[in-house]
Amino acid sequence: MTREAIIERLAKLDTCAVSDGMDRLGLKGATFGVRPMWPCPKIVRRAITMKIKPVGLDKSKQHLGTQAIVAANPGDIIVIDNGGRPDTSCWGGLLSLAALTKGISGVVIDGACRDVDESREVGFPVYARAAVPMTARSRVMEESCNREIEFAGVQVHPGDLVIADGSGIVIIPRAKEEEVVREAEAVTATEARMAEGIREGMSVLEVLERLGYEQMLTRNSRSSQSRWCRMPWIVWEFTGSAWAFNPSLRVVRRRAGRSP
Amino acid sequence: MTREAIIERLAKLDTCAVSDGMDRLGLKGATFGVRPMWPCPKIVRRAITMKIKPVGLDKSKQHLGTQAIVAANPGDIIVIDNGGRPDTSCWGGLLSLAALTKGISGVVIDGACRDVDESREVGFPVYARAAVPMTARSRVMEESCNREIEFAGVQVHPGDLVIADGSGIVIIPRAKEEEVVREAEAVTATEARMAEGIREGMSVLEVLERLGYEQMLTRNSRSSQSRWCRMPWIVWEFTGSAWAFNPSLRVVRRRAGRSP
Amino acid sequence: MTREAIIERLAKLDTCAVSDGMDRLGLKGATFGVRPMWPCPKIVRRAITMKIKPVGLDKSKQHLGTQAIVAANPGDIIVIDNGGRPDTSCWGGLLSLAALTKGISGVVIDGACRDVDESREVGFPVYARAAVPMTARSRVMEESCNREIEFAGVQVHPGDLVIADGSGIVIIPRAKEEEVVREAEAVTATEARMAEGIREGMSVLEVLERLGYEQMLTRNSRSSQSRWCRMPWIVWEFTGSAWAFNPSLRVVRRRAGRSP
C-alpha cells in the first residue's frame, strides 16, 4: 500500500472538518444520504470510479465491478455512481471479498448494495443508500470505469481523495487536496481548543462566541486564528482566590482550587 | 437538576403509551421520522426550543445553539425546528459537549445533525432525521430561541414535556401534562396486565378482546377500566384438574398443575 | 412446529440467493425498503397474511392482528400489508409477546411498527419500514386476514414462503417453491466456489468472468453449471515451481509453496 503523507494527514480528520475546510475554499465536496451499511470504520483514500447504467438492448459483457477491482491500487476506495437508484444492488458479497483480498479500503455507493451481512462478516466497509436483495445482473451494467462520475451531487475524478464516516462522505478534488487538508487541519485544531475550553469549564458562549467559531469559516478571519496557539494557563492568587489566565483562549477564570 | 414529580412519573413510561394517552384526550403530540442517531437512551424532560432558518442577506451574529444552551436548565431537552431539512446540520460535536457539560439531557432535531461519532463518544443523546457532514455555518442561522416552534408537525412551546425513545418522539403541552401522564399511566397499567395474561398462557384473543384493548383509547370505556385492579388467582380442584379464576382478568383457566 | 424439508433447505440460503433464483425463473418476489427494526436474526417460514385499511365510518370490531396470531401455525411469519404507510403503527409490543408465545417466527410489515425496544427485549423479529409511536387504534383497522395481499409491490398468498434478512425480504409463491429453492441452492453453491477461488488467490477477473458469474442467472447456461462440482487441486512441480490445476475451477495457478 503506497504511503502518502497527505492521506496520513487526512486520516486524522473527519468528514465534518473536511467539509468545513472545503467551505472555506468555496469548494463543493460534501454529500448526504450515503451512510455506513454496518457499523464500519472511517475510510480515507483515493477514488477508483465506476458508473452504472440500466441494461438496455446492449447487455453487460463482464461482471460489474471487476474492472475497478483490477484497476485499483491497494488502499483505494471504489466510488460508484448509480444515480441514487434504490431498487437494485450494484455491490455484493463476492465483490467485497475480492476487493478485501486486493487490499481495497472500502466502497461508497450512490445507490444500493446487497449481502450486507457478508460484508460485515469479512470486515469490508460498505457505504450506500440502502440494502436490497436484487442483483445488478440483467438490471444494470457498467457504463464506465475510472472516468469522471457524479456522486450524490458532487463531481468525482479518479484519484480524488475520499473520506467516509458516520456523518457522511466528502470528495476532495486532487488539485485542491493540499489546501483542503490544511484548512481542515486548522478547523480541527480550533475545535480541539474549543472542546478543551468547554471541558475546562468555560461557558459555551465564551467558547463559541469569543473564540470566533461562527466566523471560523471565513478566510478573512484566518490570519488572527493562525496566531492562536495553545498556551499554558497562568495562575495567581488574588483576594484569597485562585485565578487563571490563558493567553491563547483569551479568558480569565476564577477557580476554587489553585490550578485552573 | 430540578426534580419534578411529573417528570419522574413520565420517565417510567414510553412514547407509545404517551401517544395513546394523548389519543384518549384528543391531543396531537406524537411525531415520526426523527430517530436516535446512535443507540442512545430514552430521554424525558422539558423543552428548550429553537428555530432555524436559511441564511439570507442577514447573516448569523452568533453561533447557532449557544442561546439555547445558556437558557437551558440542567436536564432540559433542546428541541430544534429546521423544517426537516436534510442537507445541512444544525447540531454538532462541540454543542453536544457543551450541552452535556451543562447537564442538558439531549437534543431532538427536525432536520439533520453531524459529528454523530463524537456525540456517541461523549454519550450525549441526539435524535434527528439524518446525519450530514455539512455545517450550519453560512447555510442556516437561528431565527428564534425559546419561542413557539413546529416540530415534525406538532406545535411546541418552551417548557412542554418531551419524551424520545426508539419508537419516536412525543411532545406534551404543559397545560395538559398532568392529564396526559395520568392517561398514559392507565394505558401502561392495562398493557402490563395484558402482558401478564399472555405470559400466563391466555390466548391473544382472550387478552386483546376480552380485556377490551381495542376500546382502551375511548374515554367512555375508561370508567369500567378504572375498576380493574389486578387480583390474585383463585384456584380450586374440579373433576381431577386444577382450575383457576381471576376476577380482574375475568377468565377461568384449566391448568395441569395446581397453580395457574 | 411442523418440520418441512423445503423450509430447512431455505433456511440455509439468504435473500440475495433466493432473489437470484427467482430471477432465473422470471418470477417477482424480492422487495426493498422493509428492514430489520433491531439487529434481529434471519427468519424463514410460511406466510400468514393480513391487510390493513384506514378507519372510516365502519370501525374495527376486534384488535388488529389477533386473527392472524390465532390462525398461525407455530413457526409462521405474519406478513402485513399497510401500503407502506409511515405514520401509524400496525404492530406493537403486546402482539410481539403474544406471537412469540404462539411460536410465530416474526413479522414483516409494509408499513410502520412501534414498541421496537419491547420487541427486541423479548427477542421477537420485526421487519418494517419505520418505527412510530402512534397506535393503530382509531387510525387503521384490519381489512382481511389470510387472503391475498400486496407486500412492497409483490403479490403474497397465505402459505407462500417468506425469507427476511439484513438485505431485505423475498416472497416465494408456494407453487414455485421447489424450483426457486433449487435454483437458489445452485446460485449459493456457485458463489461458494467463487468465494473459495478468491480466497485461494484467484483474481476477481478469473473468478467472475471465467466462472461465468455474469451469465449465471440465464437458464441457458445452467446445463454447463450443473456439470460443475468442486474437485481437488492437482499439484505438480515444473521448472522449479509448484503448479496447481483445478478442473472444476478450470484454472492453473503457480504457487510459491507446494500446495495451492
Smallest CA–CA separation between C123 and chain B, in Å?
14
Higher-confidence residue: B211 or B216? B211
Q: Do A167 and B137 touch (CB under 8 A)?
A: no
What is the DSSP annotation of B115-160? -HHHHHHHT--EEESEE-S--STTTEEEEEESS-EEETTEEE-TT-
> Per-residue pLDDT for C226 more than 90?
no
Contact C60 B214 (CB under 8 A): yes
Q: Chain A partners of C208 at a C-beta cutoff of 8 Å?
A: 62-63, 65-66, 94, 98
Which chain A residues in 99-128 lie under 8 Å from chain B, judged by CB atoms? none
Q: Residue C22: its pLDDT value, please?
A: 96
Q: Which of C86, C93, C98 sits opposite B204 (nearest CB)?
A: C98
Q: Which of A162-176, A202-216, B167-181 has the lowest mean pLDDT?
A: A202-216
* Option in A15, A191, A217 nearest B94 (CB): A191
Q: Which residues of B touch A18 (CB under 8 A)?
A: 133
Query: For B40, which DSSP code?
Result: P
pLDDT at B248: 47
Task: Read off the pLDDT of residues B37-71 as tens digits, 9 standing for 90 and up.
Answer: 999 999 999 999 999 999 888 777 788 999 999 99
Task: Quote the percentage of chain A above a pLDDT of 70.
Answer: 80
- Average pLDDT in the B80-84 region? 96
Q: What is the pLDDT of residue B34?
A: 96
Q: Cα(A112)–Cα(B203) distance, rounded to whole angstroms? A: 42
Residues of A in contact with B117 (CB under 8 A): 14, 165-167
Kindly report the average pLDDT of chain B as a whole number: 84
Report whether pLDDT(C108) > 50: yes
B185 pLDDT more than 80:
yes
Closest Cα of chain B to C168: distance in Å?
20
Query: Which chain A residues are within 8 Å of B99, Cβ to Cβ?
Result: 204
Non-local (6+) Cβ contacts of C173 within 8 A are C27, C29, C155, C157, C160
User: Cα distance from C145 to chain B (closest Cα, Å)?
Assistant: 14
Eight-state DSSP code of residue A221: G
- The model's pLDDT over A105-143, given as tens digits with 9 standing for 90+, comes to 999 999 999 999 999 999 999 999 999 999 998 899 999
Work out whether the CA dihedral A207, A208, A211, A217 comes out positive or negative.
positive
Evaluate if residue B1 carries a pLDDT over 80: no
Distance of CA C158 to the CA centre of its chain: 17
A partners (3+ CB pairs within 8 A) are B, C
Q: Which residues of C touch A109 (CB under 8 A)?
A: none
Per-residue pLDDT, C228: 34
Average pLDDT value for residue range C202-223? 60
Q: pLDDT grade, residue C31 (50/70/90)?
A: very high
Which three three-digit cell numbers place residue C16? 440475495
Q: Would the pLDDT of B27 be above 50?
A: yes
**What pLDDT does residue C248 have?**
47
In this predicted structure, the answer to whether residue A86 has a pLDDT above a threshold of 70 is yes
pLDDT tens-digit readout, C176-207: 999 999 999 999 999 999 999 899 888 887 78
Q: Which amino acid is at A135?
A: T
- On the 0-12 / 13-18 / 19+ scale of CB atoms within 10 A, B1 is exposed
The shortest CB-CB distance from A117 to any of C33, C166, C198 is to: C166
The interface predicted TM-score of the complex, written ipTM, equals 0.78
| Phi then psi dihedrals of residue B128, to 5 deg | -155, 175
Q: Which of residues 53-72 of A touch C (CB under 8 A)?
A: 60-63, 65-66, 69-70
pLDDT tens for each residue of B90-148: 999 999 999 999 999 999 999 999 999 999 999 999 999 999 999 998 899 999 999 99
B138 interfaces chain A, CB cutoff of 8 Å: yes
pLDDT at residue B253 in the model: 54
HEC string for A143-164: EEECCCEEECCEEECCCCEEEE
- Give the range among A95-109, A175-189, A191-205, B114-128 with minimum mean pLDDT: A191-205
Which of B:190-219 have CB within 8 Å of C? 191, 194-195, 198-199, 201, 203-205, 207-209, 213-214, 216-218
For the segment C135-160, the average pLDDT, to the nearest whole number, is 95
> In angstroms, rounded to a whole number, what is the distance separating the alpha carbons of residues C149 and C48?
10
Cell matching residue C187:
446460485
Determine how many CB atoms are found less than 10 A away from the CB of residue B201. 11
Contact C6, C177 (CB under 8 A): yes
What is the predicted pLDDT for the residue at A56? Answer: 86
| pLDDT surpassing 50 at residue B259 | no
Q: Do A87 and C32 touch (CB under 8 A)?
A: yes
Over 80: is that where the pLDDT of B237 sits? no
Whether residue C259 is predicted with pLDDT greater than 70 in this model: the reply is no
Give the mean model confidence (pLDDT) for residues C2-12. Answer: 91
Q: What is the mean pLDDT of residues B63-91?
A: 95
The whole-number average pLDDT for the span C127-135 is: 96
Picking from A66, A93, A133, the nearest residue to C19 by CB comes out as: A133
pLDDT in tens, A219-237: 443 333 333 334 444 555 5
The pLDDT assigned to A252 comes to 53
Q: Tell me, what amino acid is at B160?
A: D
What letter represents residue B85's amino acid?
R
pLDDT at B59: 75
Q: How confident is the model at residue A244 (pLDDT cuts 50, 70, 90)?
A: low
Q: Residue B260: in which H helix or E strand, if any? A: none
Q: How many CB atoms lie within 10 A of CB B58?
A: 8
Q: How many CB pairs under 8 A join A and B?
A: 99
The H helix count followed by the E strand count for chain A is 8, 15
Confidence of residue C219 (pLDDT cuts 50, 70, 90): very low
Give the distance, in angstroms, between the CA of residue A218 and the centroid of all CA atoms in the same chain. 21
The answer to whether residue C142 scores a pLDDT higher than 80 is yes
Residue A243 pLDDT grade (very low, low, confident, very high; cuts 50, 70, 90): low
Average pLDDT over residues B155-166: 97
SS3 of residue B84 by DSSP: strand
Quick one: fold of C28-172?
A: Glucose Oxidase; domain 1 (3.50.30)
pLDDT for position B257: 40
In this predicted structure, what is the pLDDT of residue C61? 76
Write the single-letter amino acid at A129: R
Contact present, A45 and A68 (Cβ < 8 Å): no
Who wins on pLDDT, C201 or A241? C201
The answer to whether residues B84 and B33 touch, using CB atoms and an 8 Å cutoff, is: yes
Which of B136-140, B231-235, C128-132 has the weakest average pLDDT?
Answer: B231-235
Instruction: Determine the average pLDDT of the residues in C76-101.
Output: 95
**Residue extents of the structural domains in chain B:** 28-172, 181-255
C1, burial (CB in 10 Å: exposed 0-12, middle 13-18, buried 19+): exposed
